[in-house]
Structure 1
Amino acid sequence: MKPKVTAPSKEVISTTKNIIDKYGVNTVCYSSKCPNISECFARGTATFMILGNICTRNCRFCGVNKGKPQKINEAEPEKVANAIKEMKLKYVIITSVDRDDLEDFGSIHWHRTIEKIKEINLETKIEALTPDFRGDIEALSLLATSSADKLAHNIETVKRLHKKLKPKSSYELSLKILEFYSKYKITKSSLIVGFGEDFEEIEKTLIDLQNAGVSQITIGQYLRPSPHHYPVKKYYSHEEFKILEKLAYSIGFEAVASGELVRSSYYADKL
């Protein structure tokens, strides 16, 4: 059964939305059509998406716009940092679209944003949910040695379906990136189910992630953003998500969030 989502309340989200609009920053809450927008905005939290809202890749399940990306906004790091200060956030997630059009894949802008957030919000914890930067070691090193408190990169799906759903990405490269990150900081990844994977494939993916040094994992249901996106093959029950949660803990993960509406940034501060 498809999970039901409470419609966003204008009263509930207005304060957070006004601050976001004031600084002209992007959030993944809007761009990816996240089902938890009402709940997260009610808590005064948001996941900021830097480097524009147009991705250079074409993942078949993702609701973010694809095409020719915008020019980098050099003022964005300070705008994001000030928005976080005004929202009084103690824990923030920074993510971005893929910028394969840039020589450094956007990594320098990433680093500037993280450092500016820390400069203006000294006590705020930062989780950096990054793209793969095409595996560029200089780009990855900039993130690994930044002031981010946690590093994350999403595997998204099992090996068999990876190329079908993420044609410009690599399952093996994602594991290598996570292994690199795990040598520096707490490392997290996310798995989406409902694409047609089986239980054994999920288990193998969780084992691969754990072997790569990932200590935190989120597991959530795929919800089709539009009729043009990849179809949902299966809706997992609440009980099945509980089974996956127990499996992940048994494999060795230190923190697990598993549920119908769980997303990689959902209650990240508590995870």
Structure 2
Amino acid sequence: MNSKDTSEKYLRIPPWLRVKIPCNKTYGATRELVKDLKLNTVCQSARCPNMFECFSAHTATFLIMGNTCTRNCAFCNIENTTIMPVDPAEPVRVAEASRRLELKHVVITSVTRDDLDDGGAAYFSETIHAVREELPGSTIEVLIPDFQGSRTALMEVIAARPDIINHNVETPPSHYSRIRPQANYRQSLELLSRVKGSGSIAKSGLMVGLGEADEEVRGVMDDLAEINCDIVTIGQYMRPSLKHPAVSRYVHPDTFEEYARYGITIGIPHMHSAPLVRSSYHAAIFADREG
């Protein structure tokens, strides 16, 4: 075990990050529905700490195009083992699950599929259209990969007219080589700028606790404000396993509130900044605000 692993023994999880596991029949029903329809959720694959709360509230973030990724971001719990072909029937099953869960706001994300010519953009489009047909009154949010900078792929997603397009920058640029080595910070900003330029609602997010300083967090918010990003989420990085980078710090809730105040001050309309915030956590509140 390296020194970082040893030192983290003494970084006890603070009280504000201790999640209560509810005893709720709805949680089991949601989990069984997802299993029955042979769907993946980022809640399960990424070991999200909010899974019990969200499943208990009949919500889930659908993970399309499999549960293995072509990239290997250091913070992520999704595996990058054998990549399977996409399932052409999956969009219809996502739509059916959304209907059975009676979702008012549907959140769809994916693994990164650099093996596909369009990065999976057409598959996002198909899924959006399937959900629209099944639930015409719902709002739809997609959390997309960078499509390796392809404008054509991005425009295919935009043309499907989801209500919110999210792409996370994840961490300040000086940490990309260690945390997100197969991505490019400026490329991610350019994607978000194109989303905003198309007239769509642009959303992004990042984690803290990966070695960044507060000044760097504010720098990312400055960059997102400059491209007129509509919604920004900031949450605490939680180490999924001992194979993942150690948590460098547990940020106090007061500091998260300071991040939110700063973001509003520099012109970001909607900030959602708290220890347990994840990019799709309570996502529907932003759809309501923008609607």
Output the TM-score relative to the length of structure 1: 0.97
Match of 1:217 among 219, 232, 253: 232
Query: Where do 4+ consecutive residues of structure 1 move more than 2 Å?
Result: 7-12
Where structure 2 has 5 or more consecutive residues not aligned to the other structure, the ranges are 1-11, 287-291
1:92-141 deviation digits (Å, cap 9, x = unpaired): 11000000111111111111111111011101100011000101111000
Tell me whether 1:159 sits opposite 2:162 in the alignment.
Answer: no
Q: Matched residues, percent identical?
A: 38
Which residue pairs with 1:52 in the alignment? 66
Tell me whether 1:266 sits opposite 2:281 in the alignment.
Answer: yes
Counterparts of 1:112-191 in structure 2 under 5 Å?
112-184=126-198, 185-191=200-206
Superposed displacement of residue 8, structure 1: 5.2
Aligned residues: 271
Quote the Cα distance in structure 2 between the aligned partners of 1:11 and 1:128. 28
Letter paired with 2:278:
R
Counterparts of 1:58-69 in structure 2 under 5 Å?
58-69=72-83
Output the TM-score relative to the length of structure 2: 0.91
Tell me whether 1:102 sits opposite 2:116 in the alignment.
Answer: yes
Give secondary structure in 1 for the equivalent of 2:107.
Answer: strand
Which residue pairs with 2:218 in the alignment? 203
Report if aligned partners of 1:118, 1:147 keep a CA contact under 8 Å in 2.
no
1:11-44 deviation digits (Å, cap 9, x = unpaired): 3411211211121111101000000011111211
Give secondary structure in 1 for the equivalent of 2:140.
Answer: strand
Report if aligned partners of 1:12, 1:38 keep a CA contact under 8 Å in 2.
no
Alpha-carbon RMSD = 1.1
Tell me whether 1:31 sits opposite 2:40 in the alignment.
Answer: no
Superposed displacement of residue 54, structure 1: 0.1
Match of 1:87 among 85, 101, 122: 101
Quote the Cα distance in structure 1 between the aligned partners of 2:183 and 2:251. 26
Letter paired with 2:104:
K
Quote the Cα distance in structure 1 between the aligned partners of 2:257 and 2:268. 14
Superposed displacement of residue 215, structure 1: 1.1
Quote the Cα distance in structure 1 between the aligned partners of 2:207 and 2:141. 19
Quote the Cα distance in structure 2 between the aligned partners of 1:8 and 1:48. 21
Give secondary structure in 1 for the equivalent of 2:254.
Answer: helix
